[in-house]
Structure 1
């Protein structure tokens, strides 16, 4: 049986000119995630990430902790692991409200409504990537990883909350609920785990975040 760890990137730069950059806290979260994998003695032999800066930086920082700074784990970059385009979805389905670091709750409230409208619009959404297209690409990316993970191997995928929540919901039989409900509680640098073998692929954990909670509670963020 093989294992696939779906890892959300560390905190990005919400409200900044360039959102797609890890914040200082996000970099600390990424290292804490890597330290947790090292503590578990997780022998990661395969790794993927999207092309987004926040995903690639999280992979680099976390895997450096896993290997003790020794290079050896090659990370395969695949754009199918990128997040949905929240800016375009907000523009077409949420009234175009921009990120505002002074009021993140208002933006989150808008985004949740916009995501629901995006899903309900289906193939008729004016977004360049519709919900059916997004679902198809993340399913295909996950299927490719599953096909390459052998017995006893451990794979790490560094991606985003919407992707992880959709796939975890899909493994439980409902990708829409995954996107609309699980995504709401996904934490930065959270860890979800699926196992795969002859009986199929099964979700065994979602959104583990003890490494950014408890004694390290100051590291816990959702956006």
Structure 2
């Protein structure tokens, strides 16, 4: 039975001019998650990542720790939803200032985005986002040979939606699971004759004990 490890990117740069870059803590988290994957002794036959800088840099940092020679295949279908666009149309363009206030506004905007369906004015609607995420996962599953393992570096909304879809409720996945995903957390899927199954979600013991100070959600 093959497995797919979904890794959320390290902490991005909230409030900075360019959000899409790892913060110093984000690079530390990426190193730690690489160490955790190394500790597990999993031999990956392929690695994928979205095209966002925070995803690519997390992948490069973690795989360097792993000492893996596999090349990362970029696939923009693993990119996060456009939170700026969603906030623009469904949260009156709220700005990234206070993280808690912004998160509360974004939560409401995501609800509105999902409810609007194809009628949302956003460049990418919820149905289109869901379709591309499911397609990205299907391609990884189809590419795995018997007993092979893949690692994918993506984002919280994507991973939460995948998990929700596997449980039959992709909307609940996005709106509920997304809020608790930790930076550089690990979600494990297994693929076999019966299809793809969610085995674990948002694992983060590598950010406990001495590494607890590195635990972040945003």
TM-score, scaled to structure 2: 0.99
Secondary structure of the residue aligned to 1:18 is coil
Specify the alignment match of 1:87 in structure 2.
84
Q: 2:198 aligns with which of 196, 203, 206?
A: 203
Q: How big is the shift at 1:147?
A: 0.3
Unaligned stretches of 5+ in structure 1?
A: none
Aligned runs of 1:97-116 on 2, under 5 Å? 97-100=94-97, 103-116=98-111
Q: Distance in 1 between matches of 2:201 and 2:125?
A: 25
Specify the alignment match of 1:215 in structure 2.
210
Is 2:141 aligned against 1:146?
yes
Q: Distance in 2 between matches of 1:211 and 1:151?
A: 29
Secondary structure of the residue aligned to 1:114 is helix
Q: Deviations over 1:192-222 (max 9, x none)?
A: 0000011111000000011112221000000
Q: Distance in 2 between matches of 1:32 and 1:44?
A: 17
Specify the alignment match of 1:72 in structure 2.
69
Specify the alignment match of 2:132 in structure 1.
137
Q: Distance in 1 between matches of 2:210 and 2:164?
A: 30
Specify the alignment match of 2:59 in structure 1.
59
Specify the alignment match of 2:39 in structure 1.
39
Is 2:176 aligned against 1:181?
yes
Q: Distance in 1 between matches of 2:52 and 2:46?
A: 19
Unaligned stretches of 5+ in structure 2?
A: none
Q: CA RMSD in A?
A: 0.7
Q: Distance in 2 between matches of 1:161 and 1:201?
A: 19
Q: Distance in 1 between matches of 2:203 and 2:35?
A: 14
Q: How big is the shift at 1:151?
A: 1.6
Secondary structure of the residue aligned to 2:45 is strand
Q: Deviations over 1:81-121 (max 9, x none)?
A: 10000000000001111111xx2000000000000000000
Specify the alignment match of 1:9 in structure 2.
9
Please list every run of at least 4 consecutive aligned residues from structure 1 whose deviation after the TM superposition is greater than 2 angstroms: none
Task: State the number of aligned residues.
Answer: 218
